[in-house]
Structure 1
Amino acid sequence: MTVLLFILGVLVVVVGIVVSIALHEVGHLVPAKLFGVRVTQYMIGFGRTLFSVRRGETEYGIKAVPAGGYIAMIGMYPPATADGRVRASTTGVFQTMADDARRASAAELRPGDENRMFYRLPVIKRIIIMLGGPFMNLLIGTVLIGVLIMGFGTAQPTTTVGSLSQCVVTAEQQQRTGQTDCLATDEPSPAVAAKLQPGDTIVAFAGTDVTSWNQLTTLIRQSAGRTVPIVVDRDGTRVSSTITPVVNDVSVLDAKGTPVRDANGTVQTTRAGFVGIGPEQRMVAQPITEVLPTVGQNIGAVVGVVLHLPQRMVEVGQAAFSDAPRDPDGPMSVVGVGRIAGEVAATDQIDVRSKVAGLIGLVGSVNIALFVFNLIPLLPLDGGHVAGALWEAARRGVARVFRRRDPGPVDIAKLMPVTYVVAGLLLVMGALLIFADIVKPISIF
């Protein structure tokens, strides 16, 4: 049964990703057709075509390797000469690459296509077409995150004690000796000394009524070294006691109670009061006003990974070929995502409702990642085409201001060598991530 649930979880997320890719390409297809561009192909996947059907002037199909998708539009590359001809290459391999791309583009043309080529569209329309795909992923991600936090809720800390630290192990001890467990010589934690128990709900601390975990955390941190009263609700009975928070290294928290990390992803710490309790988490539905901020946080996290991608890939390589651990917040391949989906579906540590929420969250996060990644301003990604269109608009704008001759469209065919290099790097990174996800997978349980 566990194996079947694992496979089911993998299949659910794989189907979700394939559908997301298909809708990404629909985001390109619809505006392209609305603007009159002739679209010759709409394909999901790469490699050999498994199935296709022609509707009008477009072939729709599925290919053997479901690792992406594309639409083929005529006139992606402008001709190299004013009269529209592609002259023979005489300047080396890079020019040959550009000319081959132009020839392939020109070969698709037929009578009546003169005003249906992509490069002839106004810049704004080209940008809309290229942003249509990433915008679709953003829309899918936003909807799924909305369903997740409004329908299922998010885990929120409560004032109920979920766990107790049996002793106080300082950060200095951990760094000096690697100690994480209690020793016989260690002093019991303030929570143990005060005889707190898992399941106790703290209703008052230091003479103040407690209504939230963040409020309780603030009161504990402010009470370092002082003996203060504490009141808990234990199975419906109020129990009063005293507790003395000790000074310890604790995480710096933001306004929402989330640990603050530095540029390297390390949790920042400060000296403050500590009693040794962890909160019980409960799923709490969030209002619609929390959807966009949550999406923004997801986008920010992915942007952080992308900005430090070379460093992150080095860390992935080190983990894959050594005993170094994988960063749970680092990049992973679709294999890693599938593995986590299988773990979520197969585990007996959470209920069915939480499993469904976990799978929805995974697909939503993948879409946010696709949105950010496709905006990188490098060909062959969508952001590369947007950057080319913006550069063309800037050149023509400058020419108009200084009353110069129109420089014409930007010849992105000249960037084919860069396109091949970027595509090659993406393949290498993908292969490394897949290897790491097999030999050193990230596990959430």
Structure 2
Amino acid sequence: MISSILNNLLMFILGLLALSFLVTIHELGHFIVAKWNKVRVNTFSVGFGKKLFRFKKGETEYCISAIPFGGYVAMAGENPDSIEDGKGPSQDDFLGKSVGARAAIAFAGPFVNIAFAFILLIFLYMVGVQEPDNKNLIIGFVAKNSSAEIAGIQPGDTITAINGKETQGWDDFREQIGVSLGADVMLEVHRGGEPLAIKVVPQELVIPAADSTSDPIKMGIGDIGIYPRNRVIVRLPPKEGSAAQKAGIMRGDTIFEINGEHISRYEEVVRLIDGSKGAEVNVTLLRDGKKVDVKMTPAYNEEFKRYIVGIQMGYVMFSETHLVRRGPIEAFEKTCATSWKMTTSIFRYFKRLFQGQVKVDAFSGPVSIVAVMGNVWMSGFQDFLMLLALISINLGVMNLLPLAITDGGLLLFLGIEKVRGKPLSLKTQSVIQNVAAAFFISFFVFITILDFGKISLFLK
């Protein structure tokens, strides 16, 4: 139990560090360009709320604040209300600078996030990343009563195209299925060398709760119930005194069958063990290429509110990838393609949201983002760097949207000021910003509530 708590705590600490880093470089972009334009910066803060740590150098106070999901650069004369009546902005005030200078300061934060992701991706593609040996998808498992099973898809089938376009690996396939909830999807499937055209309709992805008394977690995206060829392994030595240890289960064992039912997902192990209600279960393991049969009696655990045998599980994929290294030019070209896909992904999700093919449950807020980043960091550093690039680009793009309280909103106001020759009235700006703030605060609270409903997905 203690190790599990420490593991979860480490996951969230790593996630917070990663998110704080992206926020810091974003604010650093604003800060550097503000200083370059000789704007007086009063505060540079990573996080919001109460200042936990602070020091002052020159005219600027640097601090780390209590709420780590953001940050800010407080510039002199940034708010028109802060300027004394009858006096215009001074030369070192933000509002005392030209429209171009203010626009450069606003643009700098998102630009740094996007540029950082671009440079990181070039580095990764030059060092080498794991890519599929074959872009076609070989199915290892089809879930019972899933859309795929209903449509007639079988384990061992190979999917070569989706909606007339060649498959590009499992990640791309999952995204396309994920944004097609309730829609007809045409798959080209090869079975025994013969091509088949199969129509599937993705159902909403639902993850079983960690304990049998809680409701399953609805993810808001589509799923057809197919999985790549993989193995569920025992990731760590069994818990001392547990049923698994008594049965002789070892770290690295593959859980092949439970009570004669083939295992390809850890959720199936949880379901079958908890479903035993304490009755003895027959487990077939794979160890050093040989099958080993053992019997175990699950015990009820008060912490998880279900029957367990004392193991932690993980996945091992069949070797269907290889390391690809690229030269500088190839890495640049690949980065451009990947960056464009990452940049436009959020718009694809919003489009499908309005079409009803994605639900709002699919969106993640700060709690889920921190948990995912920490979890991926602990699983593999290269995967974490790819995720860091994805979130950095999306952070930059979201901040460029003309949504009043974002950097893009400020750029929109500055554009209007440039065209009109004067800014919008303070009253008009205030109304727009207050409405936008009310909307985003409500949306933030709503998404955060959804996040806490998903948090059990990341806890060990």
Q: What is the CA distance between 1:106 and its match in structure 2?
A: 3.4
Which residue of 40, 49, 64 corresponds with 2:66?
64
Identify if the C-alpha distance between structure 1 residues 145 and 11 changes in structure 2 by more than 3 Å, giving closer, same or farther. farther
Secondary structure of the residue that 1:44 maps to in structure 2?
strand
Aligned counterpart for 1:253 among listed residues 165, 173, 196:
165
The match for 1:376 is: 401
Q: Which amino acid aligns with 2:428?
A: K
**Number of aligned residue pairs:** 325
The 1:276/1:122 distance shift into structure 2, 3 A limit, reads farther
Is the Cα–Cα contact under 8 Å of residues 39 and 92 in structure 2 kept in the other structure?
A: yes
Q: Given that residues 52 and 59 in structure 1 are in contact (C-alpha distance below 8 angstroms), is that contact kept between their aligned partners in structure 2? A: yes
Q: Which has the higher strand share?
A: 2
- Describe the superposition over 1:123-149 as per-residue Cα deviations: whole angstroms up to 9, x where unpaired: 221111000000111122223333444
**Matched residue, 1:358:** 383
3-state SS of 1:293 partner: helix
Given the alignment, which residue of 87, 96, 104 partners 2:82? 104
2:51 & 2:352 partners in 1: Cα distance? 36
Structure 2: runs of 5+ lacking an equivalent: 194-227, 230-318
Higher radius of gyration, 1 or 2: 1
Q: SS at 1:54's partner residue?
A: strand
Contact 2:42/2:75 (<8 A) preserved: yes
1:296-311 equivalent positions in 2, closer than 5 A: 296-306=340-350
**Which stretches of structure 1, 4 residues or longer, exceed 6 Å deviation after superposition?**
169-173, 276-279, 308-314
| 1:336-370 Cα distance to aligned partner (Å, 9 max, x none) | 12322344356xxxxx6xx1122222322221121
Q: Check the 8 A contact 1:166/1:276 in 2, yes or no.
A: no
After superposition, the Cα gap between the structure-2 partners of 1:410 and 1:163, relative to the gap in structure 1 and judged at 3 Å, is closer
Moved more, 300-309 or 273-282: 273-282
Amino acid in the other structure paired with 1:391: I
2:99 to 118, 123, 130: 123
What is the CA–CA distance in structure 1 between the aligned matches of 2:13 and 2:84, rounded to whole Å? 41
Counterparts in 2 of 1:51 and 1:390: CA distance versus 1, 3 Å: same
Uncovered stretches (5+) of structure 1, i.e. residues with no partner: 78-101, 183-188, 193-215, 222-249, 317-325, 347-351, 397-407
C-alpha distance in structure 1 between counterparts of 2:384 and 2:46, whole Å: 22
User: Alignment partner of 1:300: what SS?
Assistant: helix
Matches within 5 A, 1:67-146: 67-77=69-79, 102-106=80-84, 114-146=90-122
Identity between Structure 1 and Structure 2 (%): 22
Match of 1:290 among 334, 337, 340: 334
SS at match of 1:377: coil
- CA separation of 1:170/1:419 partners in 2, compared to 1, >3 Å: closer, same or farther? closer
Q: 1:370 to 1:333 in 2, by over 3 A?
A: same
- Aligned residues: CA RMSD: 4.1
Which structure ranks higher in relative contact order (CA pairs < 8 Å, sequence separation ≥ 6)?
A: 1
2: CA distance, partners of 1:394 / 1:303: 28
Correspondence list, 1:37-436, <5 A: 37-77=39-79, 102-106=80-84, 114-158=90-134, 163-164=139-140, 174=150, 251-254=163-166, 256=168, 258-259=172-173, 261=176, 265=180, 269-270=185-186, 272=188, 274-275=190-191, 281-287=320-326, 288=331, 289-306=333-350, 315-316=359-360, 326=361, 330-344=362-376, 355-396=380-421, 408-411=422-425, 414-436=428-450
| Alignment partner of 1:439 is 2:453 | yes
CA distance in 2, matches of 1:271, 1:310: 24
What's the CA shift string for 1:226-246, capped at 9, x where partnerless?
xxxxxxxxxxxxxxxxxxxxx
TM-score by length of 1: 0.61
Amino acid at match of 2:448: I
Q: Distance in 2 between matches of 1:65 and 1:16?
A: 14
